[in-house]
Structure 1
């Protein structure tokens, strides 16, 4: 019997149906050797190869559907919205904050989210957490992180330690380089207002063109992609022309701007939950002004998302709400994926939560599909997610890098 977080070594997963976004496989075997997939295919063939290589631990998943682990591309383990709940996070000391974030990482992995993209975390605690996860000191997903988000003086999110205030092209170039120096995998920049800033609106532009150009040019010169918190179409359009790689939220797109995003290869992480989560806001004591702004933006947000889908923009899964948060009968990651599926359909939603994000992260050689040579980051559920995305509500088995981190049958 394998225990949670035990490296299974030469392991064969048996009697599974593998869905990896490439080609569905029934009655499949997945041979896991160490932390990587050694082979996939018909069970009898894979099992024979594995047994020939040495002693085998076989795990019968009883016909479960196996997919790559989910990827959440808009994560904040140190999120602190306005209100009493957020104030409690802001008041944490550095040691408490690290432990709080580590607990969030553990809970995220337990949900079947094996990779995250952190897009603004407090005081560079994310880099310590990333090191701890890689070293095996704490359980958690693979982390790609932006460090602190860059923002103009007084701009969106300036109140917290998860942003760095900059002004002018020189200031923003320095901001990019400072995050890369700290270890950032990507750069996040706030180019407009949002729903959580009391003295701004969603449509408030916050960077001039030369400042946006400085961020994108500098980051690209260092081999880093740039994602931008952005709401209004005009601001997004200007950034897309400058080479922006990804838009977060995109509350107020137009068909023309969505079409240009598709042409330029600019992805969208729509974070649909943030404009339809009153229960979450109430739980955190979020003030009325923010709730009204957020929930009031919902209808236009959905229209904007539909425009992006129609234009062929690459859609990527990201919740903004903590990935593990219990919400509407499931966790925030799955609930966001269900919202995406209403427009995308189950197959494209699976792509948006697995292969698409991994490709954006540049990690497709190692992750994103169930194929030979890739890391054994796998999840299993009893229902078919290609029939209904809500199948992910039933994730019962989670593996990351060949280590079993959740097994409902052993609990």
Structure 2
């Protein structure tokens, strides 16, 4: 790959919350897969002899987004979900590959998968890394761990376990397959017909076994969890991240902040009737989900007030066309509107996730040495998170994968 220099842009990233201001009239020099230099245009161009120039026409450039709650094989109750469940293994791989391509094109250059069917996520990750498929960088939990009959037990994206030995074996099974993290279901949720959101599903010794085993192998643990009592117990045991957190209390949120437990709030899942209707989701699930919406927002506000680290995750497929934009961008807008604000939302969608994943040397900022995972948009994301609706150019690892400029074409 020849050197590329991106010019005529303003560079903005999540370090704005730490006082690192935008670089106006900037340039980004890319060598191979990584950024070699970022700074004022004239300074960079002096070191860019022979580089291919890409003029972004005054766009704002940020790191690619990181979606921390992704299911590329999602199958909710209803007709849409049943059609995914009926796919053969070959069809499932192609379906997920198409979703990965669409995810990358909407500006999500990294995903954290938190329950995928049949370990197809590992094959997809290998294919993307080998250049045989187009998609984001994948960090994955493999199959989520559940108790017998627990949340999500109906699909092949979960593994049923019981007792401390069973959950230890479940953790090791995912790590053996190549998991970067562990996902465990510790309460009921909105998609389980025979449970409630506040149904506890693991005993303390089972949760402790998951955490001890995963941490011994250098893996973090994230938990699907709704009620404060269940979350509070897991936080005391060392939980690294909470998914959803529908029913937090100020006390539990404060303890999460003290212990460094992050929250991926997935605000979309309790305010997405249009999506549910599109998939034919049954009435019982719609009522439970949408009915949880007001309390969900209250919980999110409690987390922000307590200083909990919040991270972007849509739960809905990242690329899904929803309310005029992608599900990823709409989730980030909801997070911003719910009290986070544009600068912290940018951090929650880029550098925050990179740090949780232990990948901050590679992704999450527009900085020399990191991968050239970049998106360009027409509006300023520090002024309004809705700027991400105007994404028109995407680069991953130094390769342009989307280019909506006149004559730019789409290269992947």
Scaled by the length of structure 1, the TM-score of the pair is 0.97
Q: Which residue of 2 aligns with 1:29?
A: 27
**1:222-257 Cα deviation digits (max 9, x unpaired):** 000000000000000000000000000000000000
**What is the DSSP-based 3-state SS (H/G/I as helix, E as strand, rest coil) of the residue aligned with 2:48?**
helix
Q: Which residue of 2 aligns with 1:252?
A: 247
Residue 47 of structure 2: which of 46, 49, 57 is its match? 49
Report deviation, 1:18. 0.1
1:390 equivalent in alignment to 2:386: yes
Q: Which residue of 2 aligns with 1:20?
A: 13
Distance 2:189 2:362 in 1: 35
Distance 2:183 2:13 in 1: 29
Residue 127 of structure 2: which of 125, 132, 136 is its match? 132
Report deviation, 1:63. 1.1
Residue 300 of structure 2: which of 305, 319, 326 is its match? 305
Report deviation, 1:62. 1.2
**What is the DSSP-based 3-state SS (H/G/I as helix, E as strand, rest coil) of the residue aligned with 2:29?**
strand
**What is the DSSP-based 3-state SS (H/G/I as helix, E as strand, rest coil) of the residue aligned with 1:50?**
coil
Distance 1:270 1:21 in 2: 19
Distance 1:35 1:159 in 2: 40
Distance 2:57 2:150 in 1: 52
Report deviation, 1:15. 1.1
Distance 2:311 2:130 in 1: 28
Q: Which residue of 2 aligns with 1:345?
A: 341
**1:92-138 Cα deviation digits (max 9, x unpaired):** 00000000000000000000000000000000000000000000101
Q: Which residue of 1 aligns with 2:214?
A: 219
Report deviation, 1:56. 1.3
Q: Which residue of 2 aligns with 1:4?
A: none
Q: Which residue of 2 aligns with 1:39?
A: 37
Distance 2:40 2:277 in 1: 49
1:280 equivalent in alignment to 2:275: yes
CA RMSD of aligned residues (A): 0.5
1:185 equivalent in alignment to 2:180: yes
Q: Which residue of 2 aligns with 1:3?
A: none
Distance 1:21 1:125 in 2: 32
Match runs of 1:10-159 below 5 Å: 10-22=3-15, 23=20, 24-51=22-49, 55-159=50-154
1:291 equivalent in alignment to 2:286: yes
Distance 2:109 2:205 in 1: 37
Distance 1:249 1:359 in 2: 20
Distance 1:56 1:217 in 2: 50
Unaligned runs of 5+ in 1: 1-6
**1:175-206 Cα deviation digits (max 9, x unpaired):** 00000000000000000000000000000000
Distance 1:291 1:76 in 2: 19
Match runs of 1:333-372 below 5 Å: 333-342=328-337, 343-372=339-368
Unaligned runs of 5+ in 2: none
**1:138-180 Cα deviation digits (max 9, x unpaired):** 1000000000000000000000000000000000000000000
**What is the DSSP-based 3-state SS (H/G/I as helix, E as strand, rest coil) of the residue aligned with 2:269?**
helix
1:262 equivalent in alignment to 2:260: no
**What is the DSSP-based 3-state SS (H/G/I as helix, E as strand, rest coil) of the residue aligned with 2:187?**
coil
Scaled by the length of structure 2, the TM-score of the pair is 0.97
Report deviation, 1:21. 2.3
Distance 2:60 2:251 in 1: 39
**1:10-34 Cα deviation digits (max 9, x unpaired):** 1111111000223210011100011
Match runs of 1:306-325 below 5 Å: 306-325=301-320
Distance 2:214 2:87 in 1: 31
Distance 1:277 1:106 in 2: 23
Report deviation, 1:372. 0.6
**1:32-72 Cα deviation digits (max 9, x unpaired):** 01110000111011011111xxx210011111000000000
**What is the DSSP-based 3-state SS (H/G/I as helix, E as strand, rest coil) of the residue aligned with 1:396?**
strand
Distance 2:92 2:126 in 1: 15
